[in-house]
A = this chain, B = another copy of it.
Amino acid sequence: MFEFELVAQSNLARAGVLHTPHGPLLTPVFAPVGTQATVKAMTPIQLKDLGASLVLANTYHLYLRPGDTLVRELGGLHAFMQWPGPLLTDSGGFQVFSLSDTRKIDDDGVTFKSHIDGSMHRFTPERAIEIQNNLGADIIMAFDECPPPLERDYVLQSLKRTHAWAERCQSVHRRADQALFGIVQGGIFADLRTESAQFLRALDLPGYAIGGLAVGESKEQMHATIEVTNAILPEAKPRYLMGVGSPEDLVNGVRLGVDMFDCVLPTRLARNAAAFTRRGRLNMKNAQYARDPGPVEAGCTCYCCANFTRAYVRHLIVAEEILAAVLLTLHNLHVLLSLMREMRAAILEGTFENYAQAFLQSYQPVESKR
């Protein structure tokens, strides 16, 4: 259970298989986010047809609504949301810090106000594991603090807490059918990331996440941090870059040895009329698409592009139809999931570096357009 086989490598890029109680995960893998036990605008059948394998759900959200004990009562998260494949829950830490207006952190845990009804709640490492045990995902995450990445003093102080919490999580986690991953923190500071990766490595957990990135630092700082961290993390364990990302970040992450990713970007952008293409992002609401008889992306084989015109998709957006979100979500997830499959194939064929360079050369990130 949770054995991780490394199948091929190409410089730092890795192709592997992570075995879970709900089937094998072929890595590198991108996990669509199902915040509230549903990937927004998708049915499980549509997700399966897209070739999604791993889905992430949010502990913070499900704890507040509908409640983790209700999910357990109904057979756990797999049964509740009818996702037959592997599931991952985060620890709730990130949401406590980003969504709650009022929160008070101490060495034992965090007291916070619900963003839904203002009621008060408390998460501790022990509670975060208990909730995730109730939810029953295949992969669960240690409770951590995600500090402002550039504030060294704060990051240093917070890191001690995050490490102590990781140990407490490990000591109370009991379900053998769930893998507890640790989360490396340390902001953008190489020495702190090294220290954190070494500390967590010593706990001998079945997998490790790189947390606290994609929260305001530069791309260069992000890449350097991934490099430093992966140099310490054990080769034989999966590496998970949390909250990433965009097409270019996925390619760069794989290039630096990351195996797993999750991000709301493809689904959130879809609900805001933006489409990924292999050359960059399009705003499908633009008037220039009003009479466009072509597909959202020429050559794309997804259900949206194989059937519908840009003119129709734009009409749905302007008319505020649910189908707009459905079609663009299908398309955006297809782009990212295909990208992951192509990267894996390139690693297996030994052509990854060429693939990555070609992709990054033709892809225009949003930042470069500003």
The verdict on A23 contacting chain B, using a C-beta distance below 8 Å, is no
The verdict on A17 contacting chain B, using a C-beta distance below 8 Å, is no
A66–B318 Cα gap in the complex (Å)? Answer: 9
Stretch at the interface among A92-100, A107-115, A132-140, A319-327: A319-327
**Inter-subunit contact A323/B80 (CB<8 Å):** no
CB within 8 Å for A70 and B291 given contacts A303-B45, A312-B80: yes
Stretch at the interface among A36-44, A221-229, A357-365: A36-44
The verdict on A308 contacting chain B, using a C-beta distance below 8 Å, is yes
B290, B312, B315, B325: the one contacting A322 at CB < 8 Å is B325
The verdict on A81 contacting chain B, using a C-beta distance below 8 Å, is yes
The verdict on A307 contacting chain B, using a C-beta distance below 8 Å, is yes
The copy count of this chain in the complex is 2
State the Cβ distance, A50 to closest chain B Cβ, in Å.
Answer: 13
**Inter-subunit contact A321/B70 (CB<8 Å):** no
Q: Which of A38, A42, A318, A327 has the most CB of B within 10 A?
A: A38
State the Cβ distance, A26 to closest chain B Cβ, in Å.
Answer: 25
Contact with B along A260-291 (1 / 0, CB 8 A): 00000000000000000000000000000011
A40–B325 Cα gap in the complex (Å)? Answer: 11
Q: CB within 8 Å of B: which of A33-79?
A: 36-38, 40-45, 61, 65-66, 70, 73-74
**Inter-subunit contact B321/A290 (CB<8 Å):** no
State the Cβ distance, A47 to closest chain B Cβ, in Å.
Answer: 11
CB within 8 Å for A70 and B290 given contacts A40-B321, A321-B38, A322-B40: yes
**Inter-subunit contact B43/A311 (CB<8 Å):** no
State the Cβ distance, A126 to closest chain B Cβ, in Å.
Answer: 25
Contact with B along A127-170 (1 / 0, CB 8 A): 00000000000000000000000000000000000000000000
Q: Hey, which chain B residues are within 8 Å of A118, CB to CB? A: none
**Inter-subunit contact A43/B315 (CB<8 Å):** no
**Inter-subunit contact A36/B315 (CB<8 Å):** yes
The verdict on A316 contacting chain B, using a C-beta distance below 8 Å, is yes
Q: Hey, which chain B residues are within 8 Å of A290, CB to CB? A: 66, 70
Q: Which of A65, A290, A307 has the most CB of B within 10 A?
A: A307
**Inter-subunit contact A312/B37 (CB<8 Å):** yes
**Inter-subunit contact B316/A38 (CB<8 Å):** yes
Q: Hey, which chain B residues are within 8 Å of A41, CB to CB? A: 322-323, 326
B42, B66, B291: the one contacting A73 at CB < 8 Å is B291
B65, B312, B315: the one contacting A315 at CB < 8 Å is B65
Question: Could you give 20 example pairs across A and B, Cβ below 8 Å?
Answer: A36-B315, A36-B316, A36-B321, A37-B312, A38-B316, A41-B322, A43-B303, A43-B327, A44-B307, A65-B318, A65-B319, A66-B318, A70-B290, A80-B309, A80-B312, A82-B307, A82-B308, A322-B325, A322-B326, A326-B326
